[in-house]
Structure 1
Amino acid sequence: MAYQQSQPRYGHCDSYFVESHDDGFYAIRAEARERARAIAKLQQRAIADELSKLTADEYQEDIMEHMEYMESQTLADVNSIDIQTEIQWFMRPYLLDFLVEAHAAFQLLPETLFLAVNLLDRYCSRRVVYKRHYQLVGCAALLIAAKYGDKKDRVPTVRELKSMCCSLYDDEMFTQMEWHVLSTLSWTIGHPTVDAFLQVALSDSAPDPEAEHMTLYIAEIALFHKEFVSTKSSILARSALALARCILGRPQASTSEWAGAYDPQTVMSLSNHLYQPSQVLSRKYASMHLSSVSATVDDFLQRQAQIARRAAAAPPTPPTPVVEEPKPVQDPFSGPHTPQKNPYGASVMQHGCLTPPITPENEQFGHGHMAKANGYPAYPTTPTPDHPSNVQQHAHYFNGYTSQQHLL
């Protein structure tokens, strides 16, 4: 008997799920619910921002007092670094070039770099550091700073740092140096950086990314120089912001505001170091997402140099002669008058000619001697500030990013 295939009772069906005509209605309701949730999240975020702002205004004075106290407690001592036996100041720019490149490679936050340099300087203020371990201390400081305030997925690993150092140090050496830095600093990591004070200074003004990037560029230039190691972050932030606004032609903050209380001497010192910045730093801030502020500074310095050359080439303006009005002649016999002092002092008339007073013997009327002869104290002349010297050299000291030849 031949097998006969039975036909399906309800006809052919490709799926056990039957399309309903109510799916459009449920989809519209689901979309409306998602939209309502998004609006509620935005409203909650706005309320949270408003409450945070009110709370920040209420505790602003306490926050500033704590930040200023912490910056004084976590400040490096330049005199202690100065007595290091092996570490020299000319090594510092090459290590900072390495840290700047590593910081940019891992895309870390700006405050991470400032905190890492602070940890490095504080450690060198308390411990004798051999030059073969100088780069290792810098890597440990960068690792601690990244763990302290940066995103977890961007914190560099020991393997990555070891690769950047061309396997000069073992894995255990990074771990041991990290623990040694923390124990030396008594596990006090928190240091108010220039970036933290910069946010405070910019909180009362309209957003200006170019001025912010310019301030960070100037502040990072200051990291390379010895004279700013013991400068407080608050002073450096306000002074760098004032210089950045001057370069960009922005109006300065009022003297009654916190940002307006900058130090003019620090501003002048920062401006003297703009001429020859680190090439690594200049390339970093030449990018568009940092407003190309290094190119802006170069253009500004070129304009200032042209203005100085024109002023030096221009002939001096002759002084305008002062014409005195003739005084009325008084008749000596018209009435009583006050006797006038002899206008020639000790001069005498011989043979009808004016003779100057006699010069005392063995008396020199120079700059200081004339002042002493007249009864005034003699002061030395004010020295003219030298042109900023080039502290950057084009040789590289570390392997990977720089070579180790001069540090080993």
Structure 2
Amino acid sequence: MAYQRYPSRYGQCDSFFVDCPDEGLYVQRATERERARNIAKMQQRVIQEDLSRMTREEYQEDILDHMEHMEGQTLPDVNSIDIQTEIQWFMRPYLLDFLVEAHAAFQLLPETLFLAVNLLDRYCSRRVVYKRHYQLVGCAALLIAAKYGDRKDRVPTVRELKSMCCSLYDDEMFTQMEWHVLQTLNWIIGHPTVDSFLQLALSEVEHDPEVEHMALYIAEIALFHKEFVSTRPSVLARSSLALARCILSRNQAKHSDWAGAYDPATVLNLSNHLYQPSQVLSRKYSVAQLSQVSLTVDEFLQRQAQIARRANAPPTPPASVHYEEPKPTTEAYLGPQTPQKHHYGGAVVNHGVLTPPITPDNDQFDGKCSGLIPRVYPTTPTPVPNVRHIQPQYYQNQYIHHVQ
């Protein structure tokens, strides 16, 4: 519309608008300006990506050297965890199931889970931990890891963590434990995770989401086993990537590349633990957003078992001889199985500081939520209302420890 004045018997009137033939010209010019701004933004984005790539390539070797140095400085000590008086290795998978589901509930980054487990293990390497505080340490580690590298709007609150723990701990206990973990680790939080090295290896080739999800699935399976606790994340990342490419029939990286220098022994150990993964982890990676890699692994193992049965089948006997063919077995193929959770004994720790907070005088841990190991594992969850974006299955008593 264009503004025009028309005379009237009352004088000049400024309140009339009529259609102007030039209106289309104004709209066209506004559209052209908007298009030019969008083109300029795209050009700036391309320039930023080019500069970022050039800078990364220039300092990539220095970055990799620093990451490999830091991973050696921030590894937990398995021998120190062995001599814990109360917490045992068989408790660890149940706590990790809880952390995996909490991590998925808050939609945190993959590296946050690896960093949280590293903080948990490093703390247990330096402090005496009561079994009734084991879950509290895990929650504090997840909270610190989320604050360190994740989006601010996805960082869990103390109220949400308290609800997931069935109000087993007070608000002050989460804050106090968070501070104590940071003090114990001398505020050294930065740790090159498996995901960090994996992204570095994947940046050298064309992006393949299925390979990335498969490698992450294998790396998270390794979190549940003691033998990989002190393994360097760079070794785990390259070995997980090599095994993922093998399962998906992808071409392996060149031996001259950094990603191609994987450890065959670690790859073999990882393959031996694919048969009995955590049910929580298997459900997590069975969704389409993560390429359903857990189902792909199950199909791969079934095919390998069939091949092994055909290879080990006895020759067909003559028709005149009554011969009963033995039942096929996969034991010869499966090889070493995932070890069962043993009760490791431990010597008394002569040096160390007891983990705060001190348990209240009134025995509040003997109530309904008094255990970490689930009574029925896994079970159908019960919903809890009025909690931010957390699914109901993360609030049942199956995660609260009742190890006696």
Aligned pairs for 1:52-201 (under 5 A) are 52-201=52-201
Q: Offset at 1:17?
A: 5.7
Query: Gapped runs of 5+ residues in structure 2?
Result: 1-7, 317-333, 342-372, 380-393
Aligned pairs for 1:9-408 (under 5 A) are 9=9, 20-315=20-315, 386-391=336-341, 395=377, 400=396, 402-407=398-403
Distance 1:213 1:287 in 2: 11
> What do residues 154-204 of structure 1 show as CA deviations (whole Å, max 9, x unaligned)?
111111111111111111111111111111111111100111100111111
Distance 1:281 1:178 in 2: 26
Distance 2:397 2:99 in 1: 10
Q: Offset at 1:407?
A: 3.8
Q: Offset at 1:309?
A: 1.4
Match of 2:325 in 1: none
Distance 1:30 1:185, change over 3 A: same
Say whether the 8 Å CA contact 2:198–2:238 is kept in structure 1. yes
Say whether the 8 Å CA contact 2:77–2:122 is kept in structure 1. yes
Q: Offset at 1:24?
A: 2.7
Distance 2:264 2:166 in 1: 44
> What do residues 315-336 of structure 1 show as CA deviations (whole Å, max 9, x unaligned)?
39xxxxxxxxxxxxxxxxxxxx
Secondary structure of the 1:59 match is helix
Q: Which amino acid aligns with 2:149?
A: G
Q: TM-score normalised to the size of structure 2?
A: 0.78
Q: Offset at 1:308?
A: 1.3
Q: TM-score normalised to the size of structure 1?
A: 0.77
Q: Which amino acid aligns with 2:261?
A: A
Distance 1:20 1:160, change over 3 A: farther
Distance 1:44 1:15, change over 3 A: same
Q: Which amino acid aligns with 2:398?
A: T
Q: Offset at 1:226?
A: 0.3
Secondary structure of the 2:125 match is helix
Which range moved further: 262-271 or 395-404? 395-404
> What do residues 230-260 of structure 1 show as CA deviations (whole Å, max 9, x unaligned)?
0000000000000000101011111111001
The alignment yields a C-alpha RMSD, in angstroms, of: 2.5
Distance 1:159 1:23, change over 3 A: farther
> What do residues 364-402 of structure 1 show as CA deviations (whole Å, max 9, x unaligned)?
xxxxxxxxxxxxxxxxxxxx9643345599636996262
Q: Offset at 1:44?
A: 0.9
Query: Gapped runs of 5+ residues in structure 1?
Result: 1-7, 317-383
Say whether the 8 Å CA contact 2:119–2:141 is kept in structure 1. yes
Q: Following superposition, which runs of at least 4 residues in structure 1 exceed 4 angstroms of deviation?
A: 8-11, 13-21, 390-394, 396-399
Q: Which amino acid aligns with 1:116?
A: A
Distance 2:298 2:14 in 1: 73
Say whether the 8 Å CA contact 1:396–1:403 is kept in structure 2. no
Secondary structure of the 1:227 match is helix
Distance 1:28 1:98 in 2: 58
Q: Offset at 1:26?
A: 2.2
> What do residues 12-48 of structure 1 show as CA deviations (whole Å, max 9, x unaligned)?
x996666554433222222211111111111111111
Say whether the 8 Å CA contact 1:276–1:390 is kept in structure 2. no
Which one scores higher on RCO, CA 8 angstroms, separation ≥ 6? 2
Identity of counterpart residues, as a percentage?
A: 75
Q: Offset at 1:144?
A: 0.6
Say whether the 8 Å CA contact 2:89–2:226 is kept in structure 1. yes
Match of 1:5 in 2: none
Question: For this pair of structures, how many residues does the alignment match?
Answer: 334
